[in-house]
Amino acid sequence: MVLAGTFRAHATAVVESDSIGDGTAIWAYSHVLKGASVGRRCNIGDHCYIESGASIGDDVTIKNLTAIWEGVTIENGAFIGPGVTFTNDVYPRSPRMKQAENRYRGREWLAKTVVGEGATLGAGSVVVAGLTIGAHAFVGAGAVVTHDVPSFALVIGNPARVQGWVCVCGSRLEFVQTSTKCESCGMKFRQTEKGLEPLRPPGGADA
Amino acid sequence: MVLAGTFRAHATAVVESDSIGDGTAIWAYSHVLKGASVGRRCNIGDHCYIESGASIGDDVTIKNLTAIWEGVTIENGAFIGPGVTFTNDVYPRSPRMKQAENRYRGREWLAKTVVGEGATLGAGSVVVAGLTIGAHAFVGAGAVVTHDVPSFALVIGNPARVQGWVCVCGSRLEFVQTSTKCESCGMKFRQTEKGLEPLRPPGGADA
Amino acid sequence: MVLAGTFRAHATAVVESDSIGDGTAIWAYSHVLKGASVGRRCNIGDHCYIESGASIGDDVTIKNLTAIWEGVTIENGAFIGPGVTFTNDVYPRSPRMKQAENRYRGREWLAKTVVGEGATLGAGSVVVAGLTIGAHAFVGAGAVVTHDVPSFALVIGNPARVQGWVCVCGSRLEFVQTSTKCESCGMKFRQTEKGLEPLRPPGGADA
């Protein structure tokens, strides 16, 4: 582990970006490319790849064996499990194949993905390009996400379907009629037509 | 990046094969073993592994975090997404376990896989050993392929099932009765009992 | 490949543990942390990560691109396929997020996983934390394991369900009423309410 400015990088890592926040750690055999942006106090495990144009907020945890492509934005406090697979093209072909050359001349193929604040992408999950994972949502291990995920929703399966709701702290929420209180941290929510809404802002949840 | 002969390899890559085509690029922390064959103008992302006995054609794109084993053949112009998992044994046990030693003395355990010309294996997909993915077929993200995939078929899910058909260029095809024309590139197809058949050879599709 | 004591490690591997058994091989870009325990005659493929607190028995095969976390125990003779994803937290959040700090102060979040003797985890499978995979069980490629797996059971799918039974040697077992004999190696079993029971101990199977 060597100290490079104010972030740390393992001796085997390759860090080409000059936009990495204070207190971030980048572990073995990981590669952060020039033009990638990584926030403060992040932890990036072994064998990761952060591409030019990827944007990662503060306090994000990225476990091992994950590649974050151009077009992927990960907001503050998100958890990206081991072996999570992102994409940035809805119907990829090899750009080197003659019949696909036209499509890859421009940038219209690039589909963006947003992982909201404090969300969790479970181990081995796969996220199809062009989707938004809502704040504090929870994608279960091995899920294949093919639609947007509402904030606070728990989704599992292939394709991933909403199976319940979770608190900011990660605990499952059980609803009595249309409102609930997290039994673990005490935070309160109500159900609306669009999904879940905290009754107090997340930052005040443990007040 | 260093120039080794006529292909390029990242400084952290380990390239032991002497059969790598002109114009191919091999990126960080990737390992190409002696006896592996890689064609021309390929792009092999970070954290890949190409085993002795694997065979890769020309113009192939292999994204990050993929291992290509002995027994796997990837034909010209195919796209292998990030985190795709191949296999070459239908019911693997640890060869070091006493009760499995007999089975691994010979080579009968080795089951071959072929990925046809211009096919796509979506991000995080898994391919069971011994199968053929037809030319220009499209395996969706996170699919688990347990049967042969017809040429031009789109398969998704676990286990993967045919959900539609795609053009050489990657666009979805909508059939009017038994024939169709790609709205993106204009290529024409007809449906037969065995699957899809182009009305003109793929090479002339964009003529 | 360099000889370090009595095990071998590729020149690009980082081995910090002083608890690695005789005859074990650790391949390229793999990282074995201080405090990880690896038995004798194991084979650990490229791009693997063995964390402090992980415990691996003798004669284990771990294929490429797998991370073995603290809390995971792999017993003798198991086979861990390529791209297998383990976990050790049932509802992870980023420990760096303010609202999750409390939870990660202690160690109650840590959920243990056991992979029994001679079991197989198929390529690309995902194992939710806190489960036991029984001895000689077989988890199919791409399966997402969300419940304990009985010894000798074959499970597939997302979520993984029992689809049949396998012998110690890996072959499928076909039952005539309540007992069966492996057509490949001759081992005999009977079905009980709890699952499968060998009529002779596995060690004597090929006697």
Which amino acid is it at B11?
Answer: A
Give the pair of three-digit tokens for residue A5: 């400015």
Place of tokens 């795709």: B84
Whether residue B4 is predicted with pLDDT greater than 70 in this model: the reply is no
Q: What is the pLDDT of residues B162-187, one digit of tens each?
A: 999 999 999 999 877 788 889 888 89
Give the pair of three-digit tokens for residue C155: 């499970």
Whether residue B207 is predicted with pLDDT greater than 50 in this model: the reply is no
At C115, phi and psi to the nearest 5? -105, 115
pLDDT at residue C207 in the model = 38
Tell me, rounded to whole angstroms, the distance of Cα C193 from its chain centroid: 25
Collect all residues of chain C within an 8 Å Cβ-Cβ radius of residue B49.
28, 45-47, 64-65
Confidence of residue C178 (pLDDT cuts 50, 70, 90): confident
Q: Helix, strand or coil for residue B203?
A: helix
Cis ω for the linkage preceding A198 (within 30 of 0): no
pLDDT at residue B205 in the model = 45
Q: What is the pLDDT of residues B82-139, one digit of tens each?
A: 999 999 999 999 999 999 998 999 999 999 999 999 999 999 999 999 999 999 999 9
Distance separating the N- and C-terminal Cα atoms of chain B: 37
Which chains pack against B, by 3+ Cβ pairs within 8 A? A, C
Interval A83-90 mean pLDDT: 98
Q: What is the pLDDT of residues C19-37, one digit of tens each?
A: 999 999 999 999 999 999 9
What are the structural domains of chain B?
A: 2-88+110-166 (2.160.10.10), 175-207 (no CATH)
CB nearest A92 (choices: B28, B64, B81): B81
Mean pLDDT of chain B: 93
**Number of CB pairs, chain B paired with chain C, less than 8 A apart:** 119
Cis ω for the linkage preceding A201 (within 30 of 0): no
pLDDT at residue C191 in the model = 86
Q: Which of A49, A39, A44 is nearest to A76 (CA)?
A: A39
pLDDT at residue B2 in the model = 52
Chain C CB within 8 Å of residue A74 CB: no
Whether residue C16 is predicted with pLDDT greater than 50 in this model: the reply is yes
Query: Measured between alpha carbons, how far is residue A64 from residues A5, A27, A68, B145 in Å?
Result: 23, 9, 12, 25
Mean pLDDT of chain C: 93
CA distance B111 to chain A (A): 25
User: In what order do the strands lie in the sheet containing B37-38?
Assistant: B37-38, B55-56, B72-74, B113-115, B132-133
pLDDT at residue C206 in the model = 45
Q: Which of A125, A86, A91 is nearest to A109 (CA)?
A: A91
Give the pair of three-digit tokens for residue B25: 């690029």
pLDDT at residue A191 in the model = 86
pLDDT at residue A178 in the model = 83
Neighbours of B126 (CB within 10 A): 30
Whether residue A161 is predicted with pLDDT greater than 90 in this model: the reply is yes
Per the CB < 8 Å rule, is C206 touching B103? no
Q: What b-and-e string marks burial along C99-134, b requiring 16 or more CB atoms within 10 Å of the CB?
A: bbeebbeeeebbeebbbbbbbbbbbbbbbbbbbbbb
Mutate which of C64, C74, C173 to test chain B, going by most B C-beta atoms within 10 A?
C64
> Between residues A187 and A144, which one has the greater pLDDT?
A144
**Number of CB pairs, chain A paired with chain C, less than 8 A apart:** 120
Distance separating the N- and C-terminal Cα atoms of chain A: 37
30-69 of B, contacting A, C-beta below 8 A: 41-43, 45-47, 58-61, 63-65
Instruction: Please return the burial class of B188, using the count of CB atoms within 10 Å of its CB with bins 0-12, 13-18 and 19+.
Output: middle
Confidence of residue A206 (pLDDT cuts 50, 70, 90): very low
At B11, phi and psi to the nearest 5? -60, -25
> Quick one: CA torsion of C159, A170, A85, A60, rounded to 10 degrees?
-170
Whether residue C54 is predicted with pLDDT greater than 80 in this model: the reply is yes
User: DSSP state, B197?
Assistant: E
Q: In sequence order, what are the residues at sequence separation of 6 or more whose Cβ sits closer than 8 angstroms to the Cβ of residue B9? A: B1, B2, B15, B25, B26, B30
Neighbours of C191 (CB within 10 A): 16
Interval C190-203 mean pLDDT: 79
CB nearest B169 (choices: A12, A65, A100): A100
Give C170's Cβ-side CA count (13 Å radius): 24
Q: What whole-number percentage of chain C has pLDDT above 90?
A: 81
Per the CB < 8 Å rule, is C185 touching B99? yes
Give the pair of three-digit tokens for residue A112: 């963006």
Chain B CB within 8 Å of residue C104 CB: no
- State the ipTM, two decimals: 0.92
pLDDT at residue A176 in the model = 73
Helices H / strands E in chain A, number of each:
0, 25
Per the CB < 8 Å rule, is C120 touching B93? yes
Interval A66-76 mean pLDDT: 98
Collect all residues of chain B within an 8 Å Cβ-Cβ radius of residue A91.
120, 138, 166, 170-172
DSSP strand pairing (B138-139 vs B126-127): unpaired
Query: Measured between alpha carbons, how far is residue B11 from residues B8, B34, C65, C75 in Å?
Result: 9, 18, 20, 37
Confidence of residue A41 (pLDDT cuts 50, 70, 90): very high
pLDDT at residue B193 in the model = 82
pLDDT at residue B192 in the model = 86
CA distance B149 to chain C (A): 17
| Sign of the alpha-carbon torsion through C176, C177, C181, C184 | positive
* CA–CA distance, A111 with A89 (Å, rounded to integer): 6
Q: Helix, strand or coil for residue A204?
A: helix
pLDDT at residue B201 in the model = 61
Mean pLDDT of chain A: 93
Q: In sequence order, what are the residues at sequence separation of 6 or more whose Cβ sits closer than 8 angstroms to the Cβ of residue A182? A: A167, A168, A169, A171, A173, A188, A189, A205
Whether residue C144 is predicted with pLDDT greater than 70 in this model: the reply is yes
Chain C CB within 8 Å of residue B19 CB: no
